[in-house]
A and B are shown apart, each in its own frame.
Chain A
């Protein structure tokens, strides 16, 4: 838009002629090309096992609460078959491949994902409830990008670890969450395969679809059998997997509670494990920041993917002098958020992933109010069917409030104020988590000062919720162990042998 037009519209004389109805017409994404089966077996050793109704569970489209497909709940013996297949592949064909050969497979996966990107985006939104705009513009392109990035490392690993010989670990047990299903799969499988490992991956029980469709793609490119095995199921399947005696590595993304119980359960095994767990990111807004941009940043920090983001900026820390103005701007901005059908291209906030999660979010908001918080919700009506939660602000909270200390994993932002930089740092660091934080200020030196003091694996300055395959991601403290992405991400999938002569 030219500058002239903008000034035209700001002229009150001209504004009168602009129609007042700003609502959007429905813009539904076409779903006809995104096909899937009514039921799925497990993907073990290069093919799907027979589906057994008696050993199955349904997956619900959270946008309308309807069951859309059923998949198999992997039993202990299924898990064993998957691990055996992965072991055989590691000790067989795949284990003997050169880095160059491995890289060619990974590049093909990246390309295939790009080719089928829209189909995967639609499926991701149908299965998980996230807005099509996000699955289309973020999840699927990034998933392809992770495969493309790590494909390139497969034959260059010696350069990633100066003075060492990197060797694969073996069979990797990988468990991923429901908030970014295909993207988390890519974060796990791409570096593991690049380093020469084989994997058994379990998607979350509410979002198995893109992982199962991903198996089609693996068959199409002819990845050797057993290199990637996908087993569906809930917590008990996950337990069978981490308890399996023949795995060499555990990579888990999920809640801190489950992460700790996995750590306890593997204590006697001296097994390599990396964790990407919960978070309670602070969004520190200084009074010298560009406030309109910062408010846009807040929306992205906490309402992106319905707030189902481990690194979400779920605590706004705003400097006292601008607090009222920021809250006012934020409330106004929130009124323009479009909540509704995830498959509508206009939708900003889609469906909450499951009934269980919806209840959790509600329970946290209730607790917040009970502990003295004031609650502000987006006005407007939510769809009749499905699981939806309006973007919500909680003010009048203190550092010890449950909603400030615990991860809600929904579109709920707590707001606290601060006076000095030191107070902001102190409050930001004062939770058991340490995944990501944001800093908004116009002053570069302050960014580096505060950024250095924040105990988190990611610091977003004047931006938030950005991800890239070259960029390491992961937490301090109870937000996890290890990093995914970049060279650091390779560390999680190799053992380093001394090459001598250091």
Chain B
């Protein structure tokens, strides 16, 4: 297995470190894209930071296959267990705080904004970890039907989700789309931001060393014009989730292609602008947390199942 080292990209600037190769994250492993092609990720001053894989339809297919296979075991876990596994992500991220801050600064964050954002990420993960065993209680129902039946409705995971990350270096924005799906019990294929794939790629290292089972979160890098058609046309993807700021053409493509197998499609706001983060970090992060801490996002990425049973002697 091609495990990554803990070195960060920023270390490429120092004499004694070696730069990191950023790869996809599929089934708990870090394979290279099958295309063998790459693109260069630059910092704000247009200096090369890293080569990142240009993934293809084949990579998407592999990831979807893995996600489908992993889904059953994830959704069958108890809500308590899923809550602990998600909470553990926060523990691991917290331990790698400096690594993320380092990388964010490299991408153009001020130190202060980077620190606040990583703190907010930990806070958001803990927040959602707590929802796993509560959504059914808040949104489920026992339905008083007018016949001799016991009838209840509860939320269930939908299955395999394609997540399209916003074009921002913000890890918080990516987590705002990912976490509700993890709480919901879905398994995901996440298309990293094209311009800023590094936070997603590095987050894969957190996932790989956490308790999240392999295949539940898969992360693919590349060009949206290649990857969005593949994910939106895939007949074994049940749901597409993205950020409201996604380019209209891509959004329309998602809506259009979703008809192939009646995928659910949801967009909500998770984009955070780097400029705003740097100029008013307190306010920007507070607003963002306020809008992302929304249990209805979990509800949207689940199905309602209603069960009937007769009541009789």
Q: Which residues of A come within 8 Å of B, CB atoms?
A: 145, 162-164, 256, 259-261, 263-264, 266-268, 270, 275, 277, 432, 447, 451-452, 455-463, 466, 468, 470-474, 476-481, 483, 486-488, 496, 498, 500, 502
Evaluate contact between A471 and B262: CB separation under 8 angstroms: no
Give bound CA distance, A267 to B294, whole Å. 26
Q: Which residues of B contact A496 (CB under 8 A)?
A: 296
Give bound CA distance, A496 to B233, whole Å. 29
From A162, A461, A474, A498, B308 is in contact (CB under 8 Å) with: A461
The reply on B279 being an interface residue by CB < 8 A is no
Evaluate contact between B305 and A459: CB separation under 8 angstroms: yes
Q: Which residues of A contact B262 (CB under 8 A)?
A: 256, 259-260, 263, 275, 277, 477-481
Also in contact, A470 and B143, with CB within 8 A (given A267-B252, A268-B255, A476-B303): yes
Evaluate contact between B141 and A459: CB separation under 8 angstroms: no
Evaluate contact between B138 and A463: CB separation under 8 angstroms: no
Q: Which residues of A contact B11 (CB under 8 A)?
A: none
Which of A266, A460, A473, A500 neighbours the largest number of chain B CB atoms within 10 Å of its CB?
A: A460
Q: Which residues of A contact B156 (CB under 8 A)?
A: 452
Give bound CA distance, A498 to B304, whole Å. 22
Q: Which residues of B contact A487 (CB under 8 A)?
A: 141
Closest chain B residue, CB of each to CB of A462: B310
Evaluate contact between B307 and A478: CB separation under 8 angstroms: no
Also in contact, A472 and B259, with CB within 8 A (given A267-B252, A466-B145, A477-B238): no
B294 to chain A, nearest CB (A): 7
The reply on B42 being an interface residue by CB < 8 A is no
Evaluate contact between A263 and B141: CB separation under 8 angstroms: no
Evaluate contact between B259 and A260: CB separation under 8 angstroms: yes
A266 to chain B, nearest CB (A): 7
From B149, B153, B255, A263 is in contact (CB under 8 Å) with: B255
Also in contact, A461 and B307, with CB within 8 A (given A466-B145, A498-B291): yes
The reply on B225 being an interface residue by CB < 8 A is no
Which of B156, B255, B264 neighbours the largest number of chain A CB atoms within 10 Å of its CB?
A: B255
B208 to chain A, nearest CB (A): 29
Other 13 A-B pairs with CB < 8 A, given A459-B307, A463-B310, A471-B143: A259-B262, A263-B258, A264-B256, A267-B258, A268-B255, A275-B262, A277-B262, A451-B307, A457-B303, A457-B306, A461-B309, A471-B308, A472-B304
Q: Which residues of A contact B305 (CB under 8 A)?
A: 451, 456-459
Evaluate contact between B308 and A459: CB separation under 8 angstroms: yes
The reply on B146 being an interface residue by CB < 8 A is yes
Q: Which residues of B contact A162 (CB under 8 A)?
A: 138
Evaluate contact between A264 and B238: CB separation under 8 angstroms: no
Evaluate contact between B143 and A468: CB separation under 8 angstroms: yes
User: Would you mind naming 7 contact pairs between A and B with Cβ atoms under 8 Å apart?
Assistant: A256-B262, A259-B262, A268-B255, A277-B262, A451-B307, A458-B306, A468-B151
Also in contact, A486 and B153, with CB within 8 A (given A267-B259, A502-B294): yes
Give bound CA distance, A487 to B307, whole Å. 15
Q: Which residues of A contact B149 (CB under 8 A)?
A: 463, 466
Q: Which residues of B contact A460 (CB under 8 A)?
A: 308
Evaluate contact between B293 and A502: CB separation under 8 angstroms: yes
**A interface footprint on B227-271 (CB within 8 Å = 1, 0 otherwise):** 000000000001000000000000111011011111010000000
A359 to chain B, nearest CB (A): 27
Closest chain A residue, CB of each to CB of B253: A267
Evaluate contact between B309 and A463: CB separation under 8 angstroms: yes
